[in-house]
Amino acid sequence: MVNREDATQFHITAVHARSFNTVFLSKVIGVLIMISFLIMLAVLYPILIGAFHRSVTLWDVLIAITAHFLISFLGVAVSLYFTKIWSRRKLSTWLLLVLILVISLVKGGVVDSLPSGFSFVTWVFPPSFAIIDVLSQDTVTANGQLFFTFIYILGYASLLTVIFLVLVRKKNAFLT
């Protein structure tokens, strides 16, 4: 969704917005707003149909909404690097994106299989496993581990977005 318009239209939009970063950031925010509606549906629908074996508390709902939003923001931030701005070949882009997704989802198993001194290598992959690991527990409480996980994912996704904006400003490949 970041680069669905042609280069000429994008350039005109950027001129009106006075910044390419403003245009990209607005698109990311727009995507996150649309995702927020889907998150509300994904969280509230199971509650409304009584799909849980215990009563759902307000903390459960807030944690679920926050976790869904953060994992969505992380997905948007990662997907920015797989737009046609960086690669024109769709197949290689999709394969690399799927590889990163799979590695980030099985990150816990990868960390366990690495020698003890090499676990830091997995920090470059998106931390989606961290949120899945925390939320897969039977009861999730608002504690330091959950707070650290949320901050870690927010920081990682924000850093990816900022780096993307800096690289796009330098590259200007979207104008060709």
Print pLDDT tens along the chain (176 aa): 566 666 677 777 777 777 777 888 888 899 999 999 999 999 999 999 988 888 888 888 898 899 999 999 998 888 888 776 666 666 666 677 777 777 777 776 766 777 777 767 667 778 888 788 777 776 677 788 888 889 999 999 999 999 988 888 777 645 44
Contact 119, 62 (CB under 8 A): no
Whole-number pLDDT of residue 176: 43
Q: Would you state the pLDDT for residue 36? A: 94
pLDDT of residue 172: 64
Please report the pLDDT score of residue 86 as a whole number: 63
Domain range annotation of the chain: 7-175
Tell me what pLDDT residue 156 has: 92
How much is the pTM? 0.79
Burial code (b: 16+ CB inside 10 Å, e: under 16) for 122-139 equals: beebbbbbbbeebeeeee
| pLDDT for res 4 | 65
For the chain, give me the number of helices (H) and strands (E)?
Answer: 7, 0
Place of tokens 């629908």: 45
Q: Quick one: pLDDT at residue 113? A: 76
- Which amino acid appears at position 55 of this protein? S
